[in-house]
Amino acid sequence: MILNSHVLDGLTDEFKRYVLEFADYMDRTYGVDLLISSAYRSPEGNKRVGGVRGSAHTKGMAVDIAVSGGKERFLVVKGALEFGFKRIGVGHRHVHLDMDLSKPFPTIFPDVEKGT
C-alpha cells in the first residue's frame, strides 16, 4: 500500500500503474507500506532540490521511497530487484526507483540526498 498516493500525480500512466503494482507486491510479500517522498518534479522544482539535469523525476518516471533504516532499505531494494526495476538509487533516507531506460541500466547507484 502507498501511504500517500496523491504524490503520484504527474507520473506517466504506465509508471504510475507499475508503482502501484510494486506497492501491492511489497505489502503482500514483505508487509511493507511505501511512503513516497518524491515523485514528479517540474524542471524548476528539480533544480531547487538539487536534482540532476534530465532527471527521471522530470519525465514522470521516478519515485523516491522514504526508508527508516537498514532493514527497510534492504527490503525495498530486494523487492525492487525481484519486481523488475532496472534503475535503483540508494540513499541514507530513501530508495530511488525509476524506469528511464534512456539512462544506463541495469544499475544500482548511490543517491545523494540534498535536503529532500
CA-CA distance, 113 to 116, in Å (whole number)? 6
Domain boundaries defined on the chain:
5-110
Confidence at residue 112, expressed as pLDDT on a 0 to 100 scale: 78
Q: Per-residue pLDDT for 116 more than 50?
A: no
Let me know if 93 is exposed, middle or buried by CB neighbors in 10 A (0-12, 13-18, 19+).
middle
Confidence at residue 114, expressed as pLDDT on a 0 to 100 scale: 61
User: Hey, which residues does 72 pair with through a beta bridge?
Assistant: none
Q: Does domain 5-110 have CATH number 3.30.230.10?
A: no
**What is the model's pTM?**
0.92
Confidence at residue 1, expressed as pLDDT on a 0 to 100 scale: 78
The mean predicted confidence, pLDDT, of the chain is 94
Q: What is the pLDDT of residues 67-105, one digit of tens each?
A: 999 999 999 999 999 999 999 999 999 999 999 999 999
| pLDDT interval class at 15 (50, 70, 90) | very high
